């Protein structure tokens, strides 16, 4: 049974999921620290290129199945126009100012 984004525990992660699902690039970018980084399947990626390709230009969407670590770790069914749907794991590092300094994703 999916977890509705409004019920996610961590407010920053909740806003991240909402921004992805709404395809709201401005809201998404506002959640990231200026020097934010990310990795996909264990490899560091260029954040701007990856988010454009995997989220915004391909209509990415997250359906969260499970959360842990106070809401900063998710398992989600992720789908986009490029890859279809896959089970993914997401882990977020949120700084004291409530912005994401790093996130990791990959197949779960």
pLDDT of residue 1: 85
How far apart (Å, rounded) are the C-alpha atoms in residues 13 and 3? 13
> What CATH class does 5-107 carry?
alpha beta
How do the pLDDT tens digits run along the chain, 108 residues long? 899 999 999 999 999 999 999 999 999 999 999 999 999 999 999 999 999 999 999 999 999 999 999 999 999 999 999 999 999 999 999 999 999 999 999 999
Give domain limits for the chain: 5-107
The pLDDT score that the predictor gives to residue 80 is: 97
Contact yes or no for 74/89 (Cβ under 8 A): yes
Residue 106 CB: number of other CB atoms within 10 A? 14
Q: State both tokens at 7.
A: 């019920």
């Amino acid at each position: 049974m999916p977890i509705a984004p409004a019920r996610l525990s961590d407010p920053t992660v909740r806003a991240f999921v909402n921004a992805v699902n709404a395809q709201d690039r401005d809201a998404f970018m506002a959640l990231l620290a200026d020097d934010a980084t990310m990795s996909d399947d264990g490899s560091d990626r260029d954040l701007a290129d990856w988010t454009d390709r995997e989220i915004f230009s391909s209509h990415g969407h997250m359906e969260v199945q499970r959360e842990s670590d106070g809401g900063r770790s998710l398992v989600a069914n992720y789908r986009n126009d490029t890859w279809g749907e896959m089970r993914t794991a997401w882990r977020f590092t949120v700084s004291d100012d409530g912005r994401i300094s790093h996130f990791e994703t990959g197949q779960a």
